[in-house]
Amino acid sequence: MKDNRYLTILVLLLISSCSQNYQQYDKEKCEQMFIETSKKYEDYYFSHSTNYQKLDSSLLLIDTMLCRCKYNYINITISKLMILSEKKDYKTAIKFIKSLDNDFPIYWQSIYLKRFEAMQAQEIHYISKKNKLIKKIILDIEEYLTLSSNSNIVDSVLKLQNIEDIKKFDKHVAIIQYYYYRCQLEGNSVINYELDSLQKTKNWNKEFIDTFIKVWLKQDFMEFLGT
């Protein structure tokens, strides 16, 4: 009981501090906090525990960093969403995504919002709503990659033979997302067949397809890891 009261007080203090003119922490302190947060999350994840104490402790640190470590705002935000996903707290995640400020890219905010709404729908077995949301995500990605008007950009990037050159393309993660979300609707075998065919006919980078796209296709939809 005391622990719960203590956590409540800390949360209220954090909310209060964010509403005031708070002082930013230096980069070194922020990185130390981020490492500590990551360690708590990893300890929980690899222990296969159902006790959320370490996750709640991580969330407290993250909420402090969101206020005082703006330079790393995107990574901290994703970390918070990963933890909320692990806790299956979709309602809080959706509310948090809607509250994100202009430091977070609009494209990612839109994708993440629909992703968590789809996860929430699947949790209650509302599959038609989940699929409808995934279709909207795919349309958003197609627009972002300009696939509807011109696919030459993606084609030329995936023909690069050096993976590091592909990763320099600022939308390379969206390419992975495109096939991942299509996989949720069309199935792994269909997307794998298409990728194999495109790799052969268009000479796309096989290593990138195998180690990035295909590996990600196997990721559990209900476990958010940043895409």
Q: Assess if residue 96 is contained within a domain.
A: no
Q: Are residues 109 and 73 in the same domain?
A: no
Domain range spanning residue 13? 1-87
Q: Are residues 5 and 47 in the same domain?
A: yes
Q: Assess if residue 65 is contained within a domain.
A: yes
Q: Are residues 199 and 119 in the same domain?
A: yes
CB-count exposure of residue 138 (10 Å: 0-12, 13-18, 19+) = buried
Q: Are residues 168 and 76 in the same domain?
A: no
pLDDT level of residue 4 (50, 70, 90 thresholds): very low
Q: Assess if residue 143 is contained within a domain.
A: yes
Mean pLDDT on 181-186: 98
- Condensed to tens digits (0 to 9), the pLDDT of residues 75-93 reads 999 999 999 999 999 999 9
- Condensed to tens digits (0 to 9), the pLDDT of residues 106-128 reads 999 999 999 999 999 999 999 99
The C-alpha atoms of residue 126 and residue 103 are separated, in whole angstroms, by: 33
Q: Are residues 82 and 124 in the same domain?
A: no
Q: Are residues 123 and 227 in the same domain?
A: yes
Q: Assess if residue 79 is contained within a domain.
A: yes
Q: Are residues 158 and 80 in the same domain?
A: no
Q: Assess if residue 203 is contained within a domain.
A: yes
Which of 60, 87, 114 is the C-terminal boundary of a domain? 87
Q: Assess if residue 59 is contained within a domain.
A: yes
Q: Are residues 73 and 155 in the same domain?
A: no
In order of 124, 136, 189, 210, 214, the CA distances from 204 in angstroms are 39, 27, 19, 11, 13
Q: Are residues 118 and 227 in the same domain?
A: yes
* Sequence-separated contacts (24+) of 156-162 with Cβ below 8 Å: 158/202, 158/204, 158/205, 158/208, 158/209, 159/202, 159/203, 159/204, 159/205, 160/205, 161/205
> Does residue 216 register a pLDDT over 90?
yes
Q: Are residues 118 and 190 in the same domain?
A: yes
How far from the centroid of its chain's Cα atoms is residue 33's Cα? Answer: 20
**Model pLDDT, residue 103:** 85
Which of 56, 87, 118 is the C-terminal boundary of a domain? 87
Q: Are residues 111 and 220 in the same domain?
A: yes
- CA-based nearest residue to 103, from 64, 77, 137, 140: 77
Q: Assess if residue 100 is contained within a domain.
A: no
Residue 4 CB neighbours (<10 A):
9
Mean pLDDT on 216-227: 94
Number of domains in the chain: 2
Pull the structure tokens for residue 97.
């995504």
Given a contact cutoff of 8 angstroms between Cβ atoms, the answer to whether 198 and 154 are in contact is no
Q: Are residues 7 and 78 in the same domain?
A: yes
Q: Assess if residue 92 is contained within a domain.
A: no
Q: What is the pTM of this model?
A: 0.86
In order of 6, 8, 40, 50, 225, the CA distances from 2 in angstroms are 6, 10, 21, 21, 33
> Does residue 65 register a pLDDT over 80?
yes
Which of 30, 55, 87 is the C-terminal boundary of a domain? 87
Mean pLDDT across the chain, nearest whole number?
88
